[in-house]
A and B are shown apart, each in its own frame.
Chain A
Amino acid sequence: MAGPLEGVRVLELAQGTAGPYAGRLFAGLGADVVKVEPPGTGDVSRARGPFAGGREHRETSIPHLYLNAAKRSATLDLTAAEAPSLVRELAGSAHVVLEDLPAADRGRLALSYESLAGARPSIVVASVTHFGLSGRLAGHRGAEVVDQALSGHMAITGEAERGPLQIGGDLAQYVAGQTAFTGALFALYHALGTGEGQQVDCSVVESFADILDGEAILALNGMPRPRLGNHTADGFLRGRGGLYECADGWVALGQTPGGWEAFAEAVGDERLLDPALATPGGRAARKAEVESIVEQWVARHTKLEIYLGSQTRRNVCGFVATPADLLASEHLRAREYFVSVEHPVAGRAESPGAPFRFAGAPWVAGRAPLLGEHNRAVYVELLGMAPAELERLQSAGVM
């Protein structure tokens, strides 16, 4: 069965993580995503690494292989004289333009909604930038660690004394990608019904701040959340606690929702079933003793033993999964979550699959395109350029 976005075409003029993750979601759901990259080097992700097999090559960079899978790649030097008209032609064939260009390029290429709408009023232009298209910081430079600092997340992650800590894994950029994808689709839904397109201005810092939800508002009411590190005041004695080191990693101990008795049974130590410990107050009064019993139990068991033993008693004890744990997970494997992708240069590997599953419409796993792999398909077959003209532009370095 066709993907849910079959028939939708997206022009991706974005690099790095945020814009390309939005494009990846489009491609995974069956849209035709035409990614325009600078000739020679391609998307900055191609140079970032780590590289598959440790072999540094523009086709083997793992961020690129993950973020650009199932897209088509066409090269174009956006500074070339031919670029503005070609970009406009490409945009004219698309429903959505996804872009993260510097302000100067956006102006020179006339890529605003207003300038594209003359040819196609229903077009949706989704702009993904660190700070948005307006405001005092619009000309400032962003980056993952900077975006995390300005969005309020770093201040509350880490320990009080050791200082603010970034969340690992470029999460702010990914959240902006999710957000831009959703905004572009809301606008596309509207455009398909009314013929009216528009510009969606999506900022990484605002996208990441938005997921603070009510916690942020507490701070506005004079109750900022402190940096608590891995531990809460009462830890598992009351409800849920931080991380404890077990035999092969770390677990987060909790007695929610099953309760203390179920937790004590999972630990299997009769001293914890003492009725005097049945209440939070009783446990707090003998905190050192209880913690010592539990920590010794934790240290003797593996994360999966602790996790699964808790689940059989309806308590959550989350375990810290490494990427290797995820790939080995019997649950994720039983659900065929990972997809095996073959790439002509990088080789074969397993990648996370669909973040959400549409009934009867499999996630389009695909592989990342080689740089300029689809120049002919895009310029000749899609735009109707003469093959000789493509040859000329390619030898002139425009593509």
Chain B
Amino acid sequence: MAPPWGTADRSLLAGIRVLDLSQIRAGPKTARWLADAGAEVIKIESLKRPDRGGMWIRLDLSKPVPEEAQREWNRTAGLGFDQLHRNKLGLSLDLTTERGKELLERLVRISDVLVENFSAGVMERLGFGYNRLRALRPEIIVLSMPAFGTTGPYRDHVGFGWGLEHQSGITALTGYLGDAPMRTGTITPDPLNGVHGAAAVAAALVQRRLTGRGQFIELAHWESTVALIGEAVLEQSFNGTFAGRLGNRHRVHAPQGCYRCAGGDEWVALTVTSGDEWAGLCRALGRLELASDARFATAAERRAHHDELDAIIGAWMAGRGKHEAMEALQQHGVPAGAVLDNAEALTQEHFRARGFFQTLPHPDGVEFPYMNGPWRFSRTPVGVREPAPLLGEDNEYVLGELLGLSAGEIAELESSGVTARLSTPR
């Protein structure tokens, strides 16, 4: 039975059904990638516990979100929730009720993947630990994403991305030269772990196709993120050393930095990773004599005179716009990039030409851009098809078409509060 907008039968994950019980950002990101690749993803939440993951984006903003974006639960305006849950179906189900549990059980029997990021032990308390899920559906793939894992002294700790970022070691590696650690602008662990989650499910799907076996995967956020700074851990173990914070410099290559250009908050980042690139930089700067200057002959010597080089490069940049400077450097074979703010980054001509984002008409009557995913598949379409569902928007399809409930039964579930729908018509 086709979901409301029809299936892309040639999609990568055609025929795969995913139950997305996760909330906030990391789990939803995992499920979003599965949905983008063509799986039928059913996002399950309830009126008592709706996913407020779209709202984190307001926390650090000095300006208010525009009025049209402030509809109930912030899910109708192309913002965070919409980006993370596009291409999914919306089912509301109160899993604390017996009837809700029974319906989840029936859904598990016809599903391939279940993604959840509850605290450790919650699925067991709901009666849906892995052993039960496996009994209901032997080939099911379960991705469980507790912050610290289900064992160990921190297993019951509360974890949020903004705290885990620091605990993962990323912050210790980030900061101005020799200065205090600095948080990232994006609360990185959540999306990083969301991507690792999709990677794990993809591997389990391949394994299932090869062997017919299901799988239980535990992704502890802390561990998943530390794997991405593994080189620093291995160095500490081998040598007992830690490079600390290098600002925008590189440990080996020089010069490297971020330089202010003409205009306001305008910058270009560049690096020099070889002798050829050093010669190219000297040409771009119009300073051919530097290329033969013994003080700058090797990366080690350029590192030793980095401040001097920064002053020379900075003076050249100060007279140029960031795009002009970037292109001039690139023409001489120097890796250089303008520092783009988020809007510039997403709308850059290069991204547009590659179809990086796509504009969809939204039921609110406005058009919003959606990021289309970070890859291009040459044979099968991947990307945005539908905006995010309202709470319970697809109750009828899931309960009626997939589980075979009658219209009367569906209405009764809603009136007894087991399911709910956002009142806003679409």
Q: Are B188 and A211 in contact (CB under 8 A)?
A: yes
| B89-97, B99-107, B158-166 - the one binding chain A | B158-166
Across the interface, name the chain B residue whose C-beta is closest to A359: B216
A243 to B337, CA, bound (A): 29
Rounded to whole Å, the gap between the CB of B34 and the closest CB of chain A is: 9
Min Cβ gap A238→B in Å is 9
CB closest chain-A residue, reference B156: A311
The answer to whether A220 touches B346 (Cβ under 8 A) is: yes
In the complex, A366 has a CB within 8 A of chain B: no
B61 with A225: CB separation less than 8 A: yes
Query: Is B224 an interface residue when CB atoms closer than 8 A count as contact?
Result: yes
Which residues from 148 to 175 on chain A have a C-beta closer than 8 Å to any C-beta of chain B? 148-160, 162-171, 174-175
Is B296 interfacial (CB-CB < 8 Å)?
no
Please give, as numbers and ranges, the residues of chain A lying within 8 Å of B298 by CB-CB distance.
none
Query: Are A217 and B183 in contact, CB atoms less than 8 angstroms apart?
Result: no
Q: A212-B191, A224-B341 are in contact. List 15 more A-B contacts (CB 8 A).
A: A29-B203, A131-B350, A152-B344, A154-B267, A155-B265, A171-B170, A215-B186, A217-B369, A220-B342, A220-B346, A223-B61, A323-B236, A335-B220, A338-B233, A358-B216
Contacts of B199 in A (CB 8 A): 25, 178, 181-182, 185, 356
List chain A residues, Cβ under 8 A from B260.
163
Q: Is B175 an interface residue (CB 8 A)?
A: yes
In the complex the two chains form, what is the Cα distance from A78 to B300 in whole Å? 30
| Interface stretch of the complex, out of A85-93, A132-140, A370-378 | A132-140
Asked if B239 and A240 sit within 8 Å, CB to CB, the answer is no
Q: Does B12 contact A (CB under 8 A)?
A: yes
| C-alpha spacing A116/B330, complex, angstroms | 32
Q: Does B135 touch A at the CB level, under 8 Å?
A: no
From A185, A217, A347, B368 is in contact (CB under 8 Å) with A217
In the complex, which residues 282-330 of chain A have their Cβ closer than 8 Å to any Cβ of chain B?
311, 314-327, 330
Q: Is A13 an interface residue (CB 8 A)?
A: no
- Of B84, B130, B203, B353, chain A has the most CB atoms within 10 Å of the CB of B203
Contacts of A322 in B (CB 8 A): 169, 172, 236, 242
Say if the beta carbon of B23 comes within 8 Å of chain A: no
**Contact mask for chain B residues 63-94; partner A; CB cutoff 8 A; 1 contact, 0 none:** 10110010000000011111110000000000
Query: Contact string, A206-233, partner B, CB cutoff 8 A, digits 1/0?
Result: 1101111111111111111111111011
For residue A102, give the distance in angstroms from its CB to the closest CB of chain B: 12
Q: Which residues of chain A come closer than 8 Å to B222, judged between CB atoms?
A: 331-332
Contact, CB under 8 Å: B369 / A220: yes
A4 at the B interface (CB under 8 A): yes
Taking CB atoms, residues of chain B closer than 8 Å to A318 are 160, 162-167
User: Within 8 Å CB of B152, what residues of A?
Assistant: 331-332, 334-335
Q: Which chain B residues border A332 with CB–CB below 8 Å?
A: 152, 222-223, 226
Which residue on A lies nearest to B154, using beta carbons?
A331
**What are 29 of the A-B contact pairs (CB < 8 Å)?**
A4-B204, A5-B207, A66-B230, A135-B350, A136-B350, A155-B340, A155-B342, A165-B247, A169-B173, A201-B375, A213-B83, A214-B79, A214-B80, A220-B343, A221-B78, A223-B63, A240-B162, A250-B166, A314-B158, A319-B166, A319-B167, A320-B181, A324-B236, A324-B242, A326-B169, A337-B223, A352-B230, A356-B197, A359-B215
B171-190 vs A, Cβ < 8 Å mask (1 yes, 0 no): 11111100011111110100
Query: What is the 8 Å Cβ interface bit string for chain A, positions 329-360, against chain B (1 contact, 0 not)?
Result: 01110110110000000110111111111110
Q: Which of B41-49, B52-60, B283-291 contacts A (4 or more CB under 8 A)?
A: B52-60
Q: Are A331 and B62 interface neighbours, CB within 8 A?
A: no
Contacts of B172 in A (CB 8 A): 168, 320-323
User: What is the interface residue range for chain B against chain A?
Assistant: 35 or more
Nearest Cβ on chain A to B345's Cβ, whole angstroms: 3
In-complex Cβ contact of B250 among A29, A50, A145 (8 A): A145
Q: Which of A132, A185, A256, A326 contacts B376 (CB under 8 A)?
A: A132
- Find chain A residues with CB under 8 A from B216 CB: 358-359
Residue of B nearest to A171 (CB): B228
Stretch of B121-129, B251-259, B411-419 lying at the A interface: B251-259
Complex Cα–Cα for A230 and B232 (A) = 22
Which chain A residue has the least Cβ–Cβ distance from B342?
A: A219
Are B239 and A53 in contact, with the CB atoms below 8 A? yes
With an 8 A cutoff between CB atoms, is B234 at the interface? yes
Bound Cα distance from A203 to B210, whole angstroms: 29
Query: Counting CB contacts under 8 A, is B358 at the interface?
Result: no
Please give me the residue from chain B that is nearest to A146 by CB atom.
Answer: B337
Least Cβ distance of B258 to chain A in Å? 5
Q: Which residues of B contact A8 (CB under 8 A)?
A: 206, 210
Interface stretch of the complex, out of A190-198, A271-279, A387-395: A190-198
Q: Tell me if B202 counts as interface (CB < 8 A to partner A).
A: yes
Q: Whole-angstrom distance between the alpha carbons of A49 and B194 in the complex?
A: 30
Q: Is the CB of A52 within 8 A of B238?
A: yes
Given contacts A134-B354, A316-B163, are A167 and B233 in contact (CB under 8 A)? no
B369–A62 touching, CB < 8 Å = no
Q: Give every chain A residue within 8 A of B167 (Cβ-Cβ).
A: 318-321
What's the Cα separation between A91 and B380 when bound, in Å? 22
A242→B183 CA distance, assembly (Å): 8
A280 to B44, CA, bound (A): 33
**Chain A residues near B337 (CB-CB < 8 A):** 142, 145-147, 149-150
Q: When the two chains form their complex, are residues A148 and B269 in contact, meaning their CB atoms are under 8 A apart?
A: yes
A355 and B340 contact, CB distance less than 8 A? no
